A and B are shown apart, each in its own frame.
Chain A
Amino acid sequence: AQSVTQLDSHVSVSEGTPVLLRCNYSSSYSPSLFWYVQHPNKGLQLLLKYTSAATLVKGINGFEAEFKKSETSFHLTKPSAHMSDAAEYFCVVRGSNDYKLSFGAGTTVTVRA
């Protein structure tokens, strides 16, 4: 079975400072890993995905994530936060033989001016 643990339920940063959202995964097989973002009253939008190619994955809006198998981690980072980054972020895993996605509990990001 696949699962993810998001280590922070809430992250608060100042505009212009780096953002780090932490995610650890558990998977029996080679997983696909995703980060989705949900802005208020909007659907879940894909930020980026890891699918066993390059371990450093670049996504939209300046976000990137690094897959570290030895640490079973897939942390999301952005060098400089923007006010528009305030949202809920979900780390998601899918096993190689699965249709379904398994979601983490989510991390709420607030950005201070």
Chain B
Amino acid sequence: EPEVTQTPSHQVTQMGQEVILRCVPISNHLYFYWYRQILGQKVEFLVSFYNNEISEKSEIFDDQFSVERPDGSNFTLKIRSTKLEDSAMYFCASSALAGGSTDTQYFGPGTRLTVL
């Protein structure tokens, strides 16, 4: 069964450093998403991406964050200058469609980011 994969599973970085989290969505999916879960808090939406553009983003997704689909298979989330409060589990998801009754978002296993 096709699945979303994410690398690395755990990333440790120093405050102020740049990190790139990588995701490989399901191959025939067109819509891509990032969510995060700070320890003890709800899973929160960050951004959705379609046709090489951001289609929706949350207030959390400020200028420190960027997303990119550098090739036909990868989808990345970059944090330019990490802060302690960026420590969280980051989930990538993909869907064949966006919205509507047939849309389902499929999630990867997550990358745990720890900022020291």
- The CA-CA distance from A24 to B69 in the complex, in Å, is 36
We find that the number of chain B residues with CB closer than 8 angstroms to chain A is: 28
| A97 to chain B: closest residue by CB | B99
With A44-B91, A99-B48, A99-B98 known to touch, is A36 a contact of B107 (CB < 8 Å)? yes
14 CB contacts below 8 A, A to B, read: A34-B104, A43-B4, A43-B110, A44-B93, A44-B107, A53-B101, A90-B43, A99-B31, A99-B98, A100-B56, A101-B35, A101-B105, A102-B45, A106-B42
Chain B interface residues toward A at CB < 8 A: 3-4, 31, 33, 35, 41-45, 48, 55-56, 58, 91, 93, 98-99, 101-110
Contacts of A36 in B (CB 8 A): 107
Does A72 sit within 8 A of B, measured CB to CB?
Answer: no
Task: Pick the 7 closest A-B CB pairs, nearest first.
Answer: A51-B101, A44-B107, A100-B45, A43-B109, A103-B43, A99-B48, A99-B56
- The CA-CA distance from A45 to B3 in the complex, in Å, is 10
We find that the number of chain A residues with CB closer than 8 angstroms to chain B is: 26
- The CA-CA distance from A44 to B95 in the complex, in Å, is 14
Q: Are A46 and B109 in contact (CB-based, < 8 A)?
A: no
Q: Are A46 and B102 in contact (CB-based, < 8 A)?
A: no
